[in-house]
Every structure is written in C-alpha cells, then in structure tokens.
Amino acid sequence: MPIIVNLDVMMAKRKMSLNELSEKVDVTLSNLSILKTGKAKAVRFNTLEAICKALDCQPGDILEYAEE
C-alpha cells in the first residue's frame, strides 16, 4: 500500500506508549494497533484529529504517501 503510517515514529518522539495514546484519544488498543501497523483501510478525521492533538503533530507527520 502506498500510504505509510508513521504513528510509531511520532509516539517514540513523544515518548508515549500505545496505552497512553489509547487513553488520550479514546480509541481501543486493537484499533490503534491496526492503524500503527498499517493494516487499517481507513481512518476517521475525528480520530486523526485526536491523535494529532495528543501527539502535538500534523496529519502529514503520521501519514505519508510513497509510490510503489
């Protein structure tokens, strides 16, 4: 898939665990894990907004497009 999810990179930069992020954005661990591993087929804008707010970043810091 040409969309790369850099959620783990941003979490590491902010020294935040998946558990902490899950609590802050009110998304289940399993759903965050699916997103983090790049297996998600979609992400809601309100979820993306909450993640960006919790990690103090921009959507482009989390999602990246790379041609195959």
Q: Determine if the pTM surpasses 0.85.
A: yes
49: CB partners within 8 A, 6+ apart: none
Structure token pair of residue 3: 């969309």
Domain ranges of the chain: 3-60
Contact indicator for 64, 6 with CB cutoff of 8 Å: yes
**pLDDT range class, residue 67, cuts 50, 70, 90:** confident
Per-residue pLDDT at 68: 73
Chain segment 11-65, per-residue pLDDT in tens: 999 999 999 999 999 999 999 999 999 899 999 999 999 999 999 999 999 999 9
Q: Domain 3-60: state its class.
A: mainly alpha
- Sign, CA dihedral 56-49-29-1, equals negative
